[in-house]
Structure 1
Amino acid sequence: MEFLSGGRAEVRITHADVGKRVSVRRLTGAPTGEPAFTDAVGVLTSWNSGVLSITRRGGEVVRIEESALVAAKVVPAAPARRKVPAATVRELQEVAARGWPAIETERLGGWILRASVQESPGGAGPGEAVAGRRAGFTRRANSVLAVGDPGLPLDEALDRVTRWYAERGLPPLLTVATGRPDADERLAAELAARGWSDEAHTSVRIAALAPLADTDTDTSAVLLSRRPDAGWLGLYNRTGTPTAAASAVLTGGPSVWFARVPAPDGGTAAIGRLVVDGRWAGFAAVETAAGRRRAGLATLVMAALAERALEEGASAAYLQVEADNAGALALYDGLGFVEHHGYHYRRGPAGA
């Protein structure tokens, strides 16, 4: 890694480079005989209070004290690939979990128990699990990511899951992948035999990222920010009155961006959310206001977010869409997304 300019190392990045791909060298303070420096390449996702966060291609986040920097520079993103990426079910499940992170997690072998509890005085919105006045913000952030072996016999693992969610006032839910040889059809069958009902069948779709940005439309009308503003939240159909739990989940992830298209009347015409995690760009919450649909605004939002993801070094796109959402499926088919696998939720039987 070459940082030298005129025979000396230089730090050639500033706070304005947050969101760009960078290469940095830092002093490690290693004992004599060990390397004194380490290098990192990735997206500069934040620079706050004297600490830089670099998200590497595999999703690992490296935090570096500003005082330890020896050299740094912005580097170009890797060439964009135009083919649909290859991926395993497990990779996509784990990337999606990082991109929509729960507030509280606990491991059970290979499974991850997730909860994001919020007070819900007005009732829960779509996808929320209600128990009295407490609800979980979205099923994804309040369900078990069932990847691999839980490390216990299945009945014992399900008892543990049921108790864990009961302690948080939530029903037990498991996310189960299906539709590919490396998915877990057997687990789905075992749960069905035990009375765990299925719901919210979802299609996980992937695409090459570069073609999403290749439009003739000017994306300058799309406003991008690191946090959702009132206009964004007002159109997003899951939050209702914004809560701390919703905000934590929405803004969590390696490198998160929110897109908003202002309407001529001062409102919001369309929104979207992006999370960049290594090679993956995850799209979510792409919505268009009633009365402004069929005008290409969703495609515009996707293009603007894809441009930003390419700048951060991503090359592949994924999203999750409910299997019965015909309108969204048609949109994503037209943008080049293909189904990779499916998943659904299994809900524990009443009284479990």
Structure 2
Amino acid sequence: MEISSMGRLEVRITTADVGKRVSVRRLGHTGVTQEKFTDTVGVLTSWDDGVLVITRRDGERVRIEESSLVAGKVVPAVPARRRGPAASYEELARVAARSWRPVDGERLGDWELRAAGGFTRRANSVLPLGDPGIPLDDALAFVRRWYGERGLPAYVQTATGAVGAQEALCAALEARGWTREVTAELWTGALAPVADRAEGSGVVLSREADAAWLARYRRTGVGEVALKVLGSGASVWFATVPGEGPVPAAVGRCVVDGRWAGFAAVEVAPELRRRGLAGAVMAALARRALEEGASAAWLQVETDNAGARALYAGMGFAAHHAYHHYREPQASGVVRN
């Protein structure tokens, strides 16, 4: 926290710092002692009418009365040290998008509009990696018309917690009545430790998702469009651990794209969980990705999936950034993540 040469806390941020990452300290209640100070770090997304709004790394928006501030300063855009392979948000966003391609799309400036018949939000949302080329309200109106013409609710996928992420866009969407429905995180890690795990025997790899693989995959509505999405990517591999019956004990998917291997759709039969099958699937896929020249790994995990988060942390993965899906006001229809 900023301290003057006289040893006093100082507020060294102004409205001109909107859009920057800041650290502030405030009183919990007017007049209480120092023990009640609260610190907040995030992007200053607005400062209007005596109220600051700071968007934290996980997307949470914190409203702070200007009168409660006791200290504040601009801080570096990201912490000096971060676990996992070095990568920018934009690089990872583009790699992730290439691994889960829609069947229909259109460009609006630097925004990519994606549709796939409603199969997952990731393939049915806008990926805004820059300027749409027109004012925001006009861009959002275009987005709503575009998805409406396809019988789909409009979603915008945003990110927080990394350089180049979209805290300001999140705030703008919320101010316009868009609702954040899902928050997840993209995690990264080194690929070799995943491949070096003892698990991996008995896993069958294939270039296509066959009927048995799909039987274990828990998504609904896996039709022709979904199969196209699942099969999209530079180099796609499907892993299967055979079970005692026609339905596999476990499955997984990996897309190799340059230095990156992206893991997804890791599913294990409920009665067989915590027996190392998910690790076996990922180890087998990681070994194949290493053979194709990849060295780094990424995956996406929802914030409330405690079991998966513990598994991936044990493999050396760590969160790189959070991402969110914002739904248009008063939209109808349901799309799973």
TM-score class normalised by the smaller sequence: 0.7 to 0.9
Note if contact 1:196-1:348 (Cα within 8 Å) is conserved in structure 2.
Answer: yes
After superposing on structure 2, the runs of 4+ consecutive aligned residues of structure 1 that deviate more than 2 Å are 264-267
Counterpart of 1:347 in structure 2 is: 327
Q: Which stretches in structure 1 are left out of the alignment for 5+ residues?
A: 1-82, 118-135
The Cα shift of 1:182 comes to: 1.9
What is the rounded CA distance, in whole Å, between the counterparts of 2:133 and 2:202 in structure 1?
51
1:40-79 CA distances to partner (integer Å, 9 max, x unpaired)? xxxxxxxxxxxxxxxxxxxxxxxxxxxxxxxxxxxxxxxx
Identity of aligned residues (%): 60
2:90 is matched with 90
> For 2:272, what is the secondary structure of its paired residue?
coil
Q: Secondary structure at the match of 2:201?
A: helix
Q: CA RMSD in A?
A: 1.3
Distance apart, 1:210 and its partner CA: 0.5
Q: Structure 2: any 5+ residue segments left out of the alignment?
A: 1-82, 333-337
CA distance change for structure 1 residues 239 and 258 in 2, over 3 Å: closer, same or farther? farther
SS of alignment partner, residue 191 of structure 1: helix
Conservation of the 8 A alpha-carbon contact between 1:233 and 1:239? no
TM-score using structure 2 length: 0.72
**For residues 275 and 263 of structure 2, what CA distance do their matches in structure 1 show?**
19
1:292 to 251, 254, 272: 272
| Alpha carbons 2:234, 2:257 under 8 Å: kept | yes
Counterpart code for 2:102: A
Q: What is aligned with 1:161?
A: 143
> What letter is aligned with 1:234?
A
Q: Which residue of 1 aligns with 2:106?
A: 106
Instruction: Name 1:229's counterpart in structure 2.
Output: 210
Paired residue for 2:219, among 231, 235, 238? Answer: 238
Equivalent residues in 2 for 1:64-75, closer than 5 Å: none
Aligned partner of 1:279 in structure 2 is 259
Q: 1:191 aligns with which of 128, 150, 173?
A: 173
How far did 1:346 drift?
0.6
Give a deviation string over 1:4-27, Cα, whole Å, max 9, x none.
xxxxxxxxxxxxxxxxxxxxxxxx
SS in 2 for 1:142: coil
User: What CA deviation, in whole Å up to 9, does each residue of 1:191-232 have, x standing for no partner?
Assistant: 000000001101100000011011223x23100000011111
Match of 1:142 among 124, 131, 136: 124
Give the aligned length. 250
**CA contact 1:259–1:305 (8 Å) conserved in 2:** yes
The whole-number CA distance in structure 2 between the counterparts of 1:212 and 1:225 is 19
> 2:74 maps to what in 1?
none
Shift, 1:179, TM fit:
1.2
Quote how far apart the aligned CAs of 1:266 are.
Answer: 4.4
What's the CA shift string for 1:148-189, capped at 9, x where partnerless? 111110000000000000000001100001112321100000
1:137 aligned counterpart, secondary structure: coil
